[in-house]
Amino acid sequence: MLQLPRGLAAVLVVGCTLGLSGCSWFESQTKGKEERDATYQERPIDQIYSDAWKKVNNGDWADAAKQFAEVERQHPYSVWARRASLMSAYCFYQGNKYTEAVSAADNYISLHPGSKEVAYAFYLKAVSLYEQIVDVERDQSNTEAALVALQDVVQRFPESEYARDATLKIDLTLDHLAGKQMEVGRYYLNKGDYIGAINRFRTVVEQYQKTTQIAEALERLTEAYFSLGLTKEAQTAAAVLGHNYPGSPWYQDAYAILQKKKLQPEEDKGSWISRAFDKIL
C-alpha cells in the first residue's frame, strides 16, 4: 500500500482537525445554496473533509475519494480544496482506480504547480500509470506513459524521496518495453521474417542496453543473420555476446549456431553491433 509521506500526511490531517472557530465562517459561505446533486448535498466544508477522513480510516477508498472531490467541487476557492484534491488522487490510487487517480493528480498539478506537495502529485500519477502495465503480449501504451511519468519525477525532483523509487521502477519499465520488442522479434523469427526480427532485436540493443534482454537479443541476432547468410554479422553478434556475457547459456546457443558452418565468433568493429556496445560499455 502506498503511504502518504509523513510531512504531507501531517499537513493534510491538520486540515481535518481544525477547531470550530472556522466552522461558522465556512457554514456562512454555504447558506442559501441549492443542492448540486442527489448524492452529495452542500455541507459545511469541515464536515465534508471530516467525513472523508472517516472513510479513509475505514479503508473505504472509493467513497473517500468522492468526498474529497466534493470539497473541491463545492468550495473550490478554499485552502482545503488544494489538500482535498491531492487526497482524492491518493484515495483513488489506494482503491485501485488508477485512471481516476491519474486524472485527479493531473488536475492537482495543473491547478497547483508551485505547491510543496506537487512532487507527490507527480509521483502518484507515475505509480498509477505503472500499476496499469500489462503483459508484453498486449499494447504497451500504458507502459510508455508510465516511463515518461517516472522519468518526469526523477528529472523534476531528483532530491525528493520519490526519485529513488521512481528510478527503480524506470529500470523495470524499460525491461518490460524491451521484453515487448523481444516477443515480437521472436514471432518474426519463427515465421522466417528475418529482417523484421533483426529490426526488433536491434531496437533492444540500441535502446534498452541495460535491461536483462540484451543477451538473448544478441543470440537472436546471431540466429537471424546466420539464417540470412550474413555470417560476418552473425559472428560479430556472437563475439560481442561472448565478450560481455561469456557464461550465458545464450552465448552457448550462439556458438553452437556458428559451429554448424565451423565458424568462430569474430567481431567486426565496423558493425553496428560493435559500435552500439562501444557506446554503452
Q: Above pLDDT 90, what percent of the chain?
A: 58
CA distance 244 to 259: 20
Q: pTM of the full predicted structure?
A: 0.75
**Same domain as 275, residue 183:** yes
Verify that 193 and 82 share a domain, yes or no: no
Distances, alpha carbon 37 to alpha carbons 41, 42, 49, 83, 163, in Å: 6, 9, 18, 23, 40
**Among 28-42, 90-104, 123-137, 228-242, which stretch is predicted with the lowest mean pLDDT?**
28-42
What pLDDT does 81 receive? 76
SS3 category, 173? helix
CATH number of 261's domain? 1.25.40.10
Looking at the structure, do residues 11 and 115 belong to the same domain, yes or no?
yes
DSSP letter for each residue of 21-80: GGHHHHHHHHTTPPPS-SSS----HHHHHHHHHHHHHTT-HHHHHHHHHHHHHH-TTSHH
| 12 and 108, same domain (yes or no) | yes
* Same-domain pairing of 265 and 180: yes
Whether 149 is in a domain gets the answer no
In terms of domains, do 109 and 182 share one?
no
Domain count, the chain: 2
Name the more confident of 61 and 220: 220
d(CA 57, CA 61): 9
Residues 180 and 274 in one domain: yes
Looking at the chain, the whole-number percentage of residues with pLDDT higher than 70 is: 81
H helical segments located in the chain: 6-16, 23-30, 45-57, 61-74, 79-94, 98-111, 118-130, 141-156, 163-191, 194-207, 214-228, 231-244, 249-259, 272-280
> pLDDT: is 86 or 190 the higher one?
190
Residues of the domain holding 194: 176-280
- Could you tell me if residue 215 is inside a domain? yes
* Mean pLDDT across 91-97: 92
Say yes or no: 10 and 101 in one domain: yes
Please give the grid coordinates belonging to residue 182: 523481444
Do 101 and 206 belong together in one domain? Answer: no
Q: What angle do CA 78, 84, 89 make, to 5 degrees?
A: 145
Q: Does position 45 have pLDDT exceeding 80, yes or no?
A: no
For the stretch 19-43, pLDDT in tens is 323 333 334 333 434 334 434 466 7
Same domain, 113 and 12: yes
